[in-house]
Amino acid sequence: MVADSSSPDRVRSGIVSMLVSVLFFAVMNALAKLLAADYPLVEVAFFRSAFALIPAAAMLALGGGPKALRTEHLFGHFWRAIIGLTSMILLFLSYHLMPLADAVALSFSAPLFLTILSVPLLGERVGPYRWGAVAVGFVGVLIIVQPGGAMFNTGALVGVGAAVSYAFAMIAIRQLGRTEATVTTVFYFTVFSTLLSALALPFAWVTPSLHGFGLMALMGLVGGGAQYFLTRAYVLAPAVVVSPFNYSGILWATLFGWLLWDDRPGVPVLVGAAIVIASGLMILYRETRRRAEAVQPIVQPVAQAGLTRPDARTG
């Protein structure tokens, strides 16, 4: 008998997995910022992907083995890797150019761009509540970047670009998710991003010191582990439960920024981040409601016939 995905134990495990994932991603981001000061970004991205192959292979073994590699959308995985690698490099560059907490706060704007892009690229309908949340969220982004102020610089533009490219990557993942298993998408992304970043190494290579190589290895392993726990979180618990915990990353980014670089986010960044996070939660809530309402007409006739399980839910 399969345990109910909404049972308290599974939900708690899902929340813990999300919190571990957020911590691992925060460590990876801090390591990327440290390494970007001494090594080319494509080299940092290469080692992040190459060492992430170890956790990705473990995920593959647990998720069905070689049969999980079967796909009819190899080009789709390749395209997703191009977009994802672009997002990774822009994100690492934003960490290099900005205080870590500021860059992470800007990255939280990705759901806003995802909502906008889902209309033309996925054919989704966005209601007035979600459009309102997007508008409010962009007010938060403007507060963070402060157009016309000292904050509005190359780093802020790169940070916004990273959020936009990440939204495109999420679009690609949604499209692949219609037919592909999560472990398949993760593994092919890791392989292709490793190969693509390796192509640039002859043009941008600095031989790492033993210390630098160790940090790069740790970054890749932690990043791959973060992906594993993120995937596990969504398997164990509903997205609406675990997704909000992703925003705890701003706390780790602030802590690491303070400890390692003596960076303290200003009031505009904190206020803007709070607005962006609130708008992201609103978008998540409305999307969850929309999906529940789409399923409801199918579930209700069954319920009226007295054929539902005792724990069935219609949303």
Render pLDDT for 236-249 as a digit per residue (tens, 0 to 9).
Answer: 877 767 878 888 89
Q: Is residue 113 predicted with pLDDT exceeding 80?
A: yes
pLDDT in tens, 170-202: 888 888 888 888 888 889 999 999 999 999 999
35-82 pLDDT, tens digit per residue, is 999 999 999 999 999 999 999 998 888 877 888 888 888 999 999 999
**Is it the case that residue 313 has pLDDT exceeding 60?**
no
Residue with tokens 């780790």: 252
What's the pLDDT tens digit per position in 117-141? 888 888 888 888 888 989 999 898 8
Instruction: Between 215 and 183, name the one with better pLDDT.
Output: 215
CB 239 within 8 A of CB 284: yes
180: alpha, beta or left? (left if phi > 0; alpha if psi -120 to 50): beta
pLDDT 10s digits, 260-311: 999 988 888 889 999 999 988 888 877 777 666 665 554 444 334 333 334 4
> What is the number of other CB atoms lying within 10 angstroms of the CB of residue 120?
9
Q: How far apart are CA 314 and CA 299, in angstroms?
A: 6
What is the Cα–Cα distance from 185 to 254, expressed in whole angstroms? 31
pLDDT band at 214; cut points 50, 70, 90: very high
The SS3 of residue 168 is helix
Rounded distance between C-alpha atoms, residue 47 and residue 198, angstroms: 9
Rg (Cα) of the chain, in Å, rounded? 20
Average pLDDT taken over every residue of the chain: 84
Task: Say what the pLDDT of residue 253 is.
Answer: 92
